[in-house]
Structure 1
Amino acid sequence: MARSQATFGKKENEKKRLKKRTDKAEKKEERQANAQKGQSLEDMLAYVDENGNIVDSPPDPKKKKVINQEDIRITTMKQEDMEQPDVIRKGTVTFFNDSKGYGFIKDQQTQESIFVHANGLINQIKENDKVIFEVAMGQKGPTAVSVKLAEA
């Protein structure tokens, strides 16, 4: 007796395809049955209220806010409009490895740990030294540059 050409997997896939096709046809019939043809444009419109919610009724003209065109900014802020952070900072050296040439400085103002490399040093530093430095963005984040000892 010869075996069936269709394997179990093929039969299951064919059943899934047929079920999907019948489900799609049922959904199409349901949509057509629930479709409301002949609606007016007013019935299809939706409005957004002052809180950002979608509602059926138009907004109340009494709650309308008047905005001057001059108050609307379309451009990005200019460099002089932005608040400039303090360029020169003070901090304490928390760690410095002379042999590897790097360390970390704890910023007094933000209490954040900032990486420092030997190339960014003006004076030689060691742990617990008070220093003055500038911050520049390095490859992996903020880096201290122009690091010099603070006068005591």
Structure 2
Amino acid sequence: MAETFSKRERRKKKIERRREKELRRDERRNTVTKGKSLDEMMAYVDENGNLSETPPDPKKSYTIAAEEIVIDIPKAAPADSEELPTGVISYFDPAKGYGFIVDEQTKERLFVHVKSLAQPDMELNTGDRVSYTAMRSQRGMQAVAVMKR
């Protein structure tokens, strides 16, 4: 039985794609074996932080103590260690008993629950200024000992 034109064209395209794939694979294999030596692949960083092919001058090198290296930026400590951080209630749902506080300095958002209020009968509303103590919980930062200002 004779093969239709479309089937024959599909088969030709499939064979051509397979051949192209084999050629690409062979090229990758050849470039790996024909690669440069380790010395040719080395890159150095100069005193300005730019990449270069020449190794640095050992006379210009100096050692740095590991304690001097700062990996991250420390968070700013409050001006008065006795003063509690303050914030504004950005959202509070009294029916559900939870909300969020936005810290005035860091703009960090903290979770607040009715159980973590300093006075259990205190009511919080959106826009109230409060002071609190921050504590890390399982789900992130949480405000405890919350008091209105």
Same-fold call, TM cutoff 0.5: yes
CA contact (8 A) 1:116 1:143 kept: yes
Corresponding residue for residue 121 of structure 1: 117
For residues 90 and 15 of structure 1, do their structure 2 counterparts lie closer, same or farther at Cα, with a shift above 3 Å needed?
Answer: closer
Unaligned runs of 5+ in 1: 36-40
Q: Which moved more, 1:119-128 or 1:86-95?
A: 86-95
Offset of 1:109 from its aligned partner? 2.6
1:136 equivalent in structure 2: 135
Whether 1:98 and 2:82 are equivalent positions in the alignment is no
Identify if the C-alpha distance between structure 1 residues 106 and 17 changes in structure 2 by more than 3 Å, giving closer, same or farther: closer
Identical-residue share of aligned pairs (%) = 26
Q: How much has 1:67 moved relative to structure 2?
A: 0.8
Could you tell me how far 1:133 is from its partner in structure 2?
0.8
Counterpart residue identity of residue 101, structure 1: G
User: Does 1:54 find its partner at 2:47?
Assistant: no
Instruction: Verify the 8 A CA contact 1:95 1:126 in the aligned structure 2.
Output: no
> Residue 38 of structure 1 corresponds to which residue in structure 2?
none
> Which consecutive residues of structure 2, in runs of 5 or more, have no partner in the other structure?
none
Task: Report the aligned-residue RMSD.
Answer: 4.2
How far residue 136 of structure 1 moved from its aligned partner, in angstroms, is 2.1
Query: For the structure 1 residues 113 and 47, does the alpha-carbon distance in structure 2 shift closer, same or farther, using more than 3 Å as the test?
Result: closer
Q: Pick the structure with greater CA Rg.
A: 1
Question: In the aligned structure 1, how far is the partner of 2:50 from the partner of 2:23?
Answer: 40
Q: TM-score, normalised by structure 1?
A: 0.57
Q: Which residue identity is paired with 2:141?
A: P
**How many Å separate the matches in 2 of 1:15 and 1:101?**
67
Tell me the TM-score normalised to structure 2 length: 0.58
